[in-house]
Amino acid sequence: MYRSIFRPDLFAGQTFIVTGGGSGIGRAVAHELGSLGGQIVLAGRKAENLAQVVAEVEQAGGTAVYTLCNIREEEQCAALVRFALDKFGAVHGLVNNAGGQFPSPAEFISRKGWHAVLETNLTGTFSMCQQVFQQWMGQHGGVIINMVAEMWRGFPGMAHTGAARAAVVNLTMTLAVEWAKAGVRVNAVAPGTIEGSGLTKYDPSMKPFIELVKQDMPYFRLGTESEVAAAVTFFALPSRRLYQRRNAQGGWGQFPMAQNMADRPA
């Protein structure tokens, strides 16, 4: 059973939307916030995965529901926020965790692949921010936490998501200023390369490069999903109301991915 370091009733009565909540970091965030009394609204594209996480949270004594949502579709983002409001009557926090990308040398990224990544990681994130602000937070305040990436030194092999995530960092800082007067806090978390289910989606040829990434980390290991969830919780804390436009960075370790990347279309 998951055990948090925070007080069990810290988020009692508060509702959090977690996109990309069916696995990986989203699942860990759901467990963390749910264990602290939060009412969790999970969203994603695979009902089976979402239902499993809901069952896990409930088995641990938490409250969770799910609905399907493709954040690339604006109306589905709007429907997700309406679903949360219908279920719990408020949305106190939004964790924009949904995203996706694929490794490829920049010269081989197709226009379709480029747009697919930007529409998910950038436009989808903006749509969720906009909808939750328009439908609730603009009048009631709240907290938004955007998941980005360690792309501060560039992102070789991931030009599409590097560009999208960098844009989300700027979006985060912009919304933090624009929406501060409404009582909305907006911050970002950049996990770096994380040990967990997400790594299994990459081609097996990436495994040697992932091992190289560890050597570029301060502690010579990858971060864990639960550590990222703890960082998200930190920004969601009521005592962190003065924290705006911050980016929690999880480590370096991106350049080794490009050193021996295969030259092939993706």
Digit-coded pLDDT (tens) for 166-194: 999 999 999 999 999 999 999 999 887 66
Cα 187 from Cα 179, distance rounded (Å) = 12
Residue 66 CA, distance from chain mean position: 16
User: What local confidence, expressed as pLDDT, does residue 32 receive?
Assistant: 96
User: What local confidence, expressed as pLDDT, does residue 258 receive?
Assistant: 44
User: What local confidence, expressed as pLDDT, does residue 255 receive?
Assistant: 47
Digit-coded pLDDT (tens) for 75-128: 999 999 999 999 999 999 999 999 998 888 899 999 999 999 999 999 999 999
User: What local confidence, expressed as pLDDT, does residue 31 receive?
Assistant: 97
User: What local confidence, expressed as pLDDT, does residue 90 receive?
Assistant: 99
User: What local confidence, expressed as pLDDT, does residue 8 receive?
Assistant: 81
Q: What is the mean pLDDT of residues 21-34?
A: 96
Burial string for 117-128 (b: 16+ CB within 10 Å, else e) reads bbbbbbbbbbbb
User: What local confidence, expressed as pLDDT, does residue 263 receive?
Assistant: 52
Cα 202 from Cα 262, distance rounded (Å) = 14
H helices present in 65-145, as ranges = 74-88, 111-118, 124-132, 138-140
Cα 97 from Cα 194, distance rounded (Å) = 14
- Ranges assigned E (strand) in the chain: 15-19, 39-44, 63-68, 93-96, 142-147, 184-190, 194-195, 223-224, 247-249
The pTM of the full predicted model, rounded to 2 decimals, is 0.84
For the chain, the domains span: 15-249
Q: What is the mean pLDDT of residues 138-162?
A: 87
Q: What is the mean pLDDT of residues 55-72?
A: 98
Asked if the model's pLDDT at residue 259 lies above 50, the reply is no
User: Which has the closest alpha carbon to 188: 114, 254, 263, 247?
Assistant: 247
Are the CB atoms for 34 and 103 separated by under 8 Å? Answer: no
Helices 24-35 and 47-59 pack at an angle, to 10 degrees, of 30
Q: Which CATH superfamily is domain 15-249 in?
A: NAD(P)-binding Rossmann-like Domain (3.40.50.720)
User: What local confidence, expressed as pLDDT, does residue 210 receive?
Assistant: 65
User: What local confidence, expressed as pLDDT, does residue 155 receive?
Assistant: 73
pLDDT top residue among 19 and 4? 19
Q: Is 203 in a helix, a strand, or coil?
A: coil
Tokens of 50: 């979402």
Q: Burial level of 227, CB count in 10 A (0-12/13-18/19+)?
A: middle
